[in-house]
Chain A
Amino acid sequence: MTPERQAPAPGPLIRPGHTFATVTDRIAAVVLTGPTPRAWWIGFGVAFALLLVLLDAVAYLLLRGIGIWGVNIPVGWGFAIINFVWWIGIGHAGTLISAILLLLRQAWRQSINRFAEAMTLFAVACAGLYPILHLGRPWLFYWLFPYPNTMGLWPNFRSPLIWDVFAVSTYATVSVLFWFVGLIPDLATLRDRSPSRIGRAVYGILAMGWRGSVRHWERYETASLLLAGLATPLVVSVHTVVSLDFAVSIVPGWHATIFPPYFVAGAIYGGFAMVLTLAIPLRRIYGLEDFVTMRHLDYMGRILLATGLIVAYGYMMEAFVAWYGGSPYEAHLMQDRFTGPYAPLYWALLVCNVVVPQALWFARTRASVPALFAIAMSINVGMWLERFIIVVTSLHEDFLPSAWGMYYPTIWDWATFAGTIGLFTTLFLLFIRFLPMISIFELRTLLPEAEVKEELA
């Protein structure tokens, strides 16, 4: 390819002219001194109202049981599992950015990894609520863990649902650890720069006496690298296990060997769409365009395109295997998806996840912030529809026509879903108010003045 035919370079990772001091002051000021933008207060008000909706929905659920939801036989898995898979998939992009891109030495991850990891934590928190609420008696959720009890009962480790308990709880723990380790040097910066006594005390306790010694950094870098190496297979395993919840069963449409890679790609796809959904307003409201540049948005657009193609391949293979496999149940399922009662949702999913993102082939689309935001929203919706289709269409017409039925979500299903969006947004807004949303010390390493000259090395 000749150089003229290449797309124009989308610009630097950090706008030139910044120094260690300006980078530090700019990001720390958001937390320490800067006035809280009005958009933050509006967002927090809406999010908090939705969080109260969640409390309401959960309280009523505890009072009445899961009969308030639309789930029944034959569709025993409804919104709870759809939303569980949707949220946990969103979380995966944060781990991908902080772990896999660290191992691949992608410097551009350093502007977005902190808030993407926070997104992971809060998405996993939302995801974790659903299976617990779905238990029927959520207050007994600890029965899932192996512990000595007077009933003499132990979990069945041959069940993918127990694998899921281990995968998700490990994922949540490791994500918290990874995120906190990444925060320590920045907490020290906040400790040293906070104008208030309380700020110095709180950030000081959290920074644990970090002083940036060369020995500290040496172990710190080793720990980060090892954690990245551990989190990489972990994140792949989590959505693999989630897919095994489906694939190990013998329900048509679920019993498929393609499920693990198809689910992992879908998770990263949906997660990156959420990272863009968060990054675009954040950089605008807080004026962080110097650090989250068009180049970052361009790269995220490319990742969406690549993972979107894998997901599209997954859809294609599902349809192909349903035909090629020769099972009448599988064939009926695919026909039901294209023409059955849920067909409008399936077609909408194909438009949102396969057709719309093809616009990302063009550099001009990736250079347009509104277009990227619109595509990201389309994928957020599309990935939710995908989980709806997977969960509901397989169950509602499986084997015997006498056992077929329809699934309709109730107002409480919607209230719980809207409520977790409120929980997620509330937590995220609190995070950007009280902690640096961009990793300050990692941005310093990207500046030209951080380079040690050759003759010294």
Chain B
Amino acid sequence: MRRRPPIYGLLAEFDDVNDLVRAARTARAAGFRHLDAYTPFPVEELAHALGVRPSRLPLVVLLGGLAGGLAGYLLQWWTAVVAYPINVGGRPLHSWPAFIVPTFETTVLGAAIAAVLGMLALNGLPMPYHPVFNVPRFALSSRDRFFLCIEATDPLFDREGTRRFLERLVPRQVSEVEH
């Protein structure tokens, strides 16, 4: 097993979203792979710049919806045909048109719960502790500052060399992130 690096990584702070996108591209082009960027609002270009793959969330939502719909329909069929059959003038017990509305609702319910829990789970939330919060200035990432973090697990990471590399990207400042 590899030894844990002495620090979590190096965090560069930028004033402008364009500077961050440019820095992210440069870092990626320089061969860094264990990168993350932190922004106060979603920036689509960053995901491209850092090569983030599209998430599997849509598949999770599809499965949630299918499970919800199936469970809803089966519940109604079982209730109306097996558990509590009501004979209404000899009409079929399996009266599927009447079951469509609740089936639709349970489909949406299953899909929506899957979307929210899936998003949180894939994002690893709730997460009570994360090293980036050890940098006091990181609090500004939810206000008006943009951060690029090169993590120490990156094969190219070198405490001094990477810091010099980041400083060439003209950030506002570069800080070390403690574990």
Any chain B CB within 8 A of the CB of A154? yes
B109 near A211 (CB under 8 angstroms)?
A: no
B41 near A222 (CB under 8 angstroms)?
A: no
Spell out B's residues near A (CB within 8 Å). Answer: 16-18, 21-22, 25, 36-47, 50, 52, 54-55, 57-58, 61, 65, 72, 75-76, 79-80, 83-84, 86, 88, 95, 98-99, 101-102, 104-106, 108-109, 111-113, 115-116, 118-120, 122-123, 125-130, 132-133, 138-144
Any chain B CB within 8 A of the CB of A163? yes
A213 near B41 (CB under 8 angstroms)?
A: no
Complex: how many Å from CA A174 to CA B110?
10
Q: Hey, which chain B residues are within 8 Å of A21, CB to CB?
A: 143-144
B42 near A221 (CB under 8 angstroms)?
A: yes
A455 to chain B, nearest CB (A): 9
Q: A173-B112, A185-B41, A453-B18 are in contact. List 9 more A-B contacts (CB 8 A).
A: A153-B84, A166-B105, A170-B106, A174-B112, A213-B38, A220-B123, A223-B115, A234-B108, A450-B41
Q: Which of A230, A237, A441 contacts B112 (CB 8 A)?
A: A230
Q: Hey, which chain B residues are within 8 Å of A233, CB to CB?
A: 104, 108
Also in contact, A442 and B101, with CB within 8 A (given A211-B133, A219-B55, A222-B55): no
Q: Hey, which chain A residues are within 8 Å of B43, CB to CB?
A: 214, 217, 452
List 20 A-B residue pairs with CB atoms under 8 Å apart, sorted by A's residue number: A20-B40, A154-B83, A156-B80, A156-B86, A157-B76, A157-B98, A166-B102, A166-B105, A188-B142, A189-B143, A192-B140, A208-B120, A211-B38, A213-B37, A217-B41, A217-B42, A230-B61, A233-B104, A241-B101, A452-B21
A338 to chain B, nearest CB (A): 34
Complex: how many Å from CA A445 to CA B44?
11
Q: Hey, which chain B residues are within 8 Å of A163, CB to CB?
A: 101-102, 105
Any chain B CB within 8 A of the CB of A24? yes
Q: Hey, which chain B residues are within 8 Å of A188, CB to CB?
A: 142
B111 near A226 (CB under 8 angstroms)?
A: yes
B125 near A192 (CB under 8 angstroms)?
A: no
A152 near B118 (CB under 8 angstroms)?
A: no
Any chain B CB within 8 A of the CB of A350? no
A157 near B102 (CB under 8 angstroms)?
A: yes
Q: Which of B22, B75, B112, B140 contacts A146 (CB 8 A)?
A: B75
Q: Hey, which chain B residues are within 8 Å of A162, CB to CB?
A: 102
Q: Hey, which chain A residues are within 8 Å of B144, CB to CB?
A: 19-21, 24
Q: Hey, which chain A residues are within 8 Å of B101, CB to CB?
A: 160, 163, 166-167, 237, 241, 244
Any chain B CB within 8 A of the CB of A11? no
Complex: how many Å from CA A397 to CA B137?
71
Taking CB as reference atom, which chain B residue is nearest A204? B128
Query: Could you tell me which residues of chain A, from 187 to 219, have a CB within 8 Å of some CB in chain B?
Result: 188-189, 191-193, 208-219
Complex: how many Å from CA A344 to CA B143?
55
B132 to chain A, nearest CB (A): 6
Q: Hey, which chain A residues are within 8 Å of B57, CB to CB?
A: 219, 222-223, 226
Q: Hey, which chain B residues are within 8 Å of A231, CB to CB?
A: 108, 112
Complex: how many Å from CA A88 to CA B109?
18
Also in contact, A181 and B116, with CB within 8 A (given A158-B98, A212-B38, A212-B40): yes
B174 to chain A, nearest CB (A): 18
Also in contact, A223 and B80, with CB within 8 A (given A174-B108, A177-B112, A212-B142): no
